[in-house]
């Protein structure tokens, strides 16, 4: 997968959708319904997860302080597991532990993190 760049206007629209997401029912995206929203990494980095318009994927937006926001497209492996590829080509695997916790890891480097709902 390639890194996706999202324009500032698209980001604004994305944030509007995220704010309305809890009020939307029947999206036909049952996997993404579980994760869309605002998260924070165990490192303190803010993360936004959003609908992509495709039930098999969702958008990952990582907001590292003092760096440009990085956008990725994550693909669902099954109902709890997903993966995405970073700009340096690393594969990040993740799984949804429960409604408020996601674990992510890079199998090549053994890097691990947890995302918690904000």
Note the pLDDT tens digit of each residue in 50-63.
999 899 999 999 99
Determine, yes or no, domain membership for 34.
Answer: yes
CATH of the domain at 53: 2.40.128.50
Burial of 84 (0-12, 13-18, 19+ CB in 10 A): buried
Q: What is the three-class DSSP state of 101?
A: strand
In angstroms, rounded to a whole number, what is the distance separating the alpha carbons of residues 113 and 40? 10
Binned at pLDDT 50, 70 and 90, residue 30 comes out as confident
Structural domain count, the chain: 1
Determine, yes or no, domain membership for 47.
Answer: yes
Determine, yes or no, domain membership for 108.
Answer: yes
State which residues form the domain around 53.
Answer: 8-117
1 vs 15 pLDDT, higher one: 15
In angstroms, rounded to a whole number, what is the distance separating the alpha carbons of residues 38 and 100? 10
Determine, yes or no, domain membership for 2.
Answer: no
Of 106, 114, 118, 108, the C-alpha closest to 36 is: 118
Q: What is the pTM of this model?
A: 0.75
21 vs 51 pLDDT, higher one: 51
Determine, yes or no, domain membership for 3.
Answer: no
């Amino acid at each position: 997968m390639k890194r996706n760049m999202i324009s500032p206007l698209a980001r604004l629209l994305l944030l509007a959708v995220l704010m309305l997401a809890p009020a939307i029912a029947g999206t036909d995206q049952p996997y993404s319904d579980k994760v869309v929203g605002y998260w924070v990494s165990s490192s303190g980095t803010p993360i936004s997860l959003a609908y992509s318009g495709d039930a098999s994927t969702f958008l990952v937006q990582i907001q590292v302080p003092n760096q440009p926001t990085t956008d990725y497209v994550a693909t669902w492996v099954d109902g709890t597991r997903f993966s995405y590829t970073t700009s340096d080509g690393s594969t990040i695997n993740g799984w949804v532990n429960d409604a408020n916790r996601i674990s992510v890891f890079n199998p090549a480097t053994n890097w691990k993190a947890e995302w918690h709902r904000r």
